[in-house]
Structure 1
Amino acid sequence: MTAGTPGGRIPSKWEEITAADPSHSAWYVQRFRDLAAQGRDTAGEARLVDAMLERGSRVLDAGCGPGRVGGYLHRAGHEVVGVDVDPVLIAAAEEDHPGPQWLVGDLAELDLPTRGVTGEFDVIVCAGNVMTFVAPVTREAVLAGFARHLAPSGRVVVGFGAGRDYEFEEFFADAERAGLAVDLTLSTWDLRPFTDGADFLVAVLSRAS
């Protein structure tokens, strides 16, 4: 995958943040290194995804950041590709979690080789509030890219919090227009049910029939 070129491409919210504060990416990397060094649990998202898969499944870690989710899934025996728009985060993923294929790229322009198989990923995981960091006008395009890269029986798992300028109902509408159907909604990565007023959403989606 090639990263998008500056001309004509809409920058993500994350890119706007890092342009305003060039130290932000390094701070983010160090934050998760510190949490791991403290023995904190940073693998809840990955455990949920792992429970959905057979060994050796193909996983796309969309907005992979410094690689904590994809790295865990690789060590669990899956074939992982991680994509993130931030080269600093990709460099950290390569250093801290060798094994997966880590790529710099814009999720709104997702175009990964599928070895001749249309939509080859068994799970696409988009954790860490990533959907709230893409440019708002590209949200539907990002979800449509997930649908294109999904195996026929595959699933997309998206998690993000409330109060981040992306209402849950708006997300559901974008997903439907992108060709995805909601199979399950949770309010945490440890399987607590989604309820009215929940401050976090974990949505499991599949290709719409």
Structure 2
Amino acid sequence: MTWNGDAYQARFDRIAAEGGDVHGEAVFVRSFGPGTVLDAGCGSGRVAIELARHGIAVAGVDADASMLATARRLAPEIRWYERDLVGLDLGRTFDVVVMAGNVPLFTPPGTEPALVAAVAAHVRRGGHLIAGFSLDRGYTLDDYDTHCRAAGLAPEARYATWSRDPYEGGEYAVSVHRRP
């Protein structure tokens, strides 16, 4: 899939200009009090930029050059990596790794275990992996939980939205896993 980073970002800019909240993921992540965050599958940088605005040391990773060009233009002070998340190795860990925006659904089918293992390897001891994604595209919560367990993470919480609405089934979930 090919993206247009500026067009993607323009959608969120329009929502914000109309009074919509485009920072729910960042607010959710900030509630964990992280000093460092990896925005895995950062796209045009919306979440990472908002986290950095609150004094959090952030890095962003995305495989799409157009998305990263937009992110770099909007926040050149943030470290942006153009890499595939499957097999990712930045050589460091973070307090929180966040995958917002259906990230697991954009990896080729069958690579989800490697995706989760790679991003989980960047979660420090006591840190969290937080992911929100749609459940109507073939990747189940049972599969995701299994992949997290295999990567050494324990389930901590699950919500229906980034606003912490209770998860009672449905087509979207925000999952929080912790590295013991």
TM norm structure 1: 0.80
Letter in 1 for 2:31: A
Q: Tell me the CA shift for residue 149 of structure 1.
A: 1.2
Q: Which has the larger radius of gyration?
A: 1
Task: Name whichever of 139-148 and 152-161 sits farther off.
Answer: 139-148
Structure 1 Cα separation of the partners of residues 115 and 122 of structure 2: 11
Q: Unpaired runs of 5+ in structure 2?
A: none
Does residue 37 (structure 1) correspond to residue 17 (structure 2)? The answer is yes
**Number of residue-to-residue matches in the alignment:** 180
1:157-176, Cα deviation, whole Å (9 max, x unpaired): 00001212212222112222
3-state SS of 1:173 partner: helix
Structure 1 Cα separation of the partners of residues 44 and 20 of structure 2: 16
1:66-119, Cα deviation, whole Å (9 max, x unpaired): 0110000001001000000001000111112333211110000211032xxxxx
Q: Tell me the CA shift for residue 24 of structure 1.
A: 4.9
Structure 1 Cα separation of the partners of residues 6 and 51 of structure 2: 23
Query: Which residue of 125, 148, 152 maps to 1:179?
Result: 152
Q: Which residue in 1 is equivalent to 2:49?
A: 71
Structure 1 Cα separation of the partners of residues 24 and 142 of structure 2: 24
Structure 1 Cα separation of the partners of residues 89 and 19 of structure 2: 36
Letter in 2 for 1:43: H
Task: Name whichever of 185-194 and 26-35 sits farther off.
Answer: 26-35
Q: Unpaired runs of 5+ in structure 1?
A: 1-16, 115-119
Letter in 2 for 1:46: A
Runs of 4+ in 1 over 6 A off after TM superposition: none
Q: 1:82 to 1:113 in 2, by over 3 A?
A: same
Query: Which residue of 67, 75, 86 maps to 2:64?
Result: 86
TM norm structure 2: 0.92
